[in-house]
Structure 1
């Protein structure tokens, strides 16, 4: 199972000091956090994409390309890449380039985004977000899968004899996750293509996400990709830890109360009771995270949000140390011990997808002579 972190890249004042980091400081902090994630044994670093304050990660592949040269094992991903307002041609080329730079340590999560103002900034209509998602993703798949594309749609200029460059590494496109917190159509798209489905279950009660994940699993099986249990699922989470749970609550409370994503709303206690947010000891984080498997079934990727709400870099790095030493090793062991037979423990990687492609090709070649030998001679 893959464990990692994702960042939303918010530039938020530290409520305990009143100091706001500069954009440069925040960007450097995000890259430091990613490098530290690899050092403590995590598998994935994912960055969001935002084009509005107080967020800074407007160019995810620029950051991930930099990190490709600073890391050797970490899988570099997004959370989210905006399929509605980005040109599919640019997505295809940017992530193929990132594949080459990272040696295949690349996948991505597509989503519609949660900031309505972004649509007109990029010349799109938010009321067409689902249609944009469907059309843009269908084009993206063709750009990766076909060397020469002729295409015409509703939302961008036609393509005639177009080849996106560079071509995907080893002829295999990056694995795609579809992120959603409320849209059944996104679960349907993920299921149709046999892609991964990421439910960033950080805001609402578990029952809401269980319905979306259940729909995705059902449709995944319907389209012939495997059993519902074998569908590729990822989940989000938020944690803040100290060795003593009371210390964690006391330290994190001012950050929670002033956070741009959920501050000034429900109390910390209410939020931890109704969502995956865990504020406490590493043991409490393990205990609550293990319940995700009970609610949603076996899954393959768990990402945590840890660097938001103005938390100082030093504090975030301490959180990663606790996560890598006291939480993830236990979760790896317990999740695998509880996993149902026949359910994959990891999502597809570049290496596994290349191997699957080659195995299918070899099987087809072996079957071809047998088919030819069994055919009747011409003219009989």
Structure 2
């Protein structure tokens, strides 16, 4: 079981001080947070991709490459990489390069994005979001698995005799998670290829995500990748902690009330009741997240959003100390209890390389274009 954090890189005014960090301050803070995440024993740091204010991480591979040089162990990922508006050729080359500079400590989460204006900025139409996601990923897989690619599709110019460079480290592409909060087609795509499915379980009630994850698990088994409970699932989460639960609520409330995503909407109490956001003591966080398996089955990756809504860097680093020191060690033990032996861990470069070596080749389990089940 992997535990980590993800950042959306929002540039938000601290409602308690009125201070708005500069872009440089925010980017520097994200680097410090990633380094701290490794220091406290977390497994994953993931950065989002955004091209619009109030967000700053427009180039996550640049950020992660710098973090790779400052860390030794932590897995570097994205949350998300926009498969719809990025050129698959550039994704293939950027992440292969990141594999090499990080010694394989990299995977990525693909997503469509939910900001409409971004599509025309990159020459695309949001109404083609699903077809773009399907076609671009089919090409991305080939670019990583074939040394020479001839290709023609609907959304980019054809390729003739093209080789993406550098080639993936050890001939093994990065593991891919497909991220979604609402689209069954993306769950279908993840299942078809035997990839991971990440449900960013932070906005809606659990029943919504149970439906998406249930679909993914059933179709994963349908396509012959293993039993449904062997599918590779990741979840998002949000927490804020203090030793005393009321202190956590009192401190976090102004940040919640003014957050750019959910501020000025439901009350903190309503939102914590209806979503996995948990504000309280470390034990409350442990109890809430140890119970996620009851709703979603055994899963492989749990990421927390910790540095949003204007929280100052000092507070975020304190939160990471609590998360890594008091919460995650207990959750590791709780979520390992009664975990069936046949349920796999989250793939890493080492495990994927070993699997390829055992098989004798980098087999593609689903070389044909995906035909998503839309019903």
Alignment TM class, shorter chain as reference: over 0.9
Does residue 258 of structure 1 match 2:258? yes
Structure 2 equivalent of residue 38 of structure 1:
38
Structure 1 equivalent of residue 296 of structure 2:
296
Q: For residues 138 and 360 of structure 1, what CA distance do their matches in structure 2 show?
A: 22
- Within a 5 Å distance, the mapping from 1:1-380 to structure 2 comes to 1-344=1-344, 346-361=345-360
Q: Report the Cα offset of residue 178 of structure 1.
A: 0.1
Give CA-to-partner distance per residue, 1:25-65, whole Å, 9 cap, x none.
00000000000000000000000000000000000000000
Q: Report the Cα offset of residue 339 of structure 1.
A: 1.5
Computed over aligned residues only, the root mean square deviation of the Cα atoms, in angstroms, reads 0.9
Give CA-to-partner distance per residue, 1:304-359, whole Å, 9 cap, x none.
00000000000000000000010000000010013233112x21110001100111
Q: What secondary structure is seen at the aligned counterpart in 2 of 1:264?
A: coil
Q: For residues 102 and 145 of structure 1, what CA distance do their matches in structure 2 show?
A: 20
Q: For residues 338 and 136 of structure 1, what CA distance do their matches in structure 2 show?
A: 39
Long gaps (5+) in structure 1: 365-380
Q: What secondary structure is seen at the aligned counterpart in 2 of 1:160?
A: strand
Structure 2 equivalent of residue 374 of structure 1:
none
Q: For residues 259 and 116 of structure 2, what CA distance do their matches in structure 1 show?
A: 20
Give CA-to-partner distance per residue, 1:184-213, whole Å, 9 cap, x none.
000011001000000001000000000000
Q: What secondary structure is seen at the aligned counterpart in 2 of 1:238?
A: strand
Give CA-to-partner distance per residue, 1:150-179, whole Å, 9 cap, x none.
000110010000000000000000000000
Q: How many aligned residue pairs are there?
A: 362
Q: What secondary structure is seen at the aligned counterpart in 1 of 2:265?
A: coil
Which structure features the higher share of helix residues? 1
Q: Report the Cα offset of residue 360 of structure 1.
A: 1.0
Q: For residues 229 and 69 of structure 1, what CA distance do their matches in structure 2 show?
A: 36
Q: 4+ residue stretches of structure 1 with deviation over 2 A?
A: none
Long gaps (5+) in structure 2: 364-375
Q: TM-score, normalised by structure 1?
A: 0.95
Q: What secondary structure is seen at the aligned counterpart in 1 of 2:160?
A: strand
Q: What secondary structure is seen at the aligned counterpart in 2 of 1:271?
A: helix
Q: For residues 342 and 164 of structure 2, what CA distance do their matches in structure 1 show?
A: 37
Q: For residues 148 and 289 of structure 1, what CA distance do their matches in structure 2 show?
A: 45
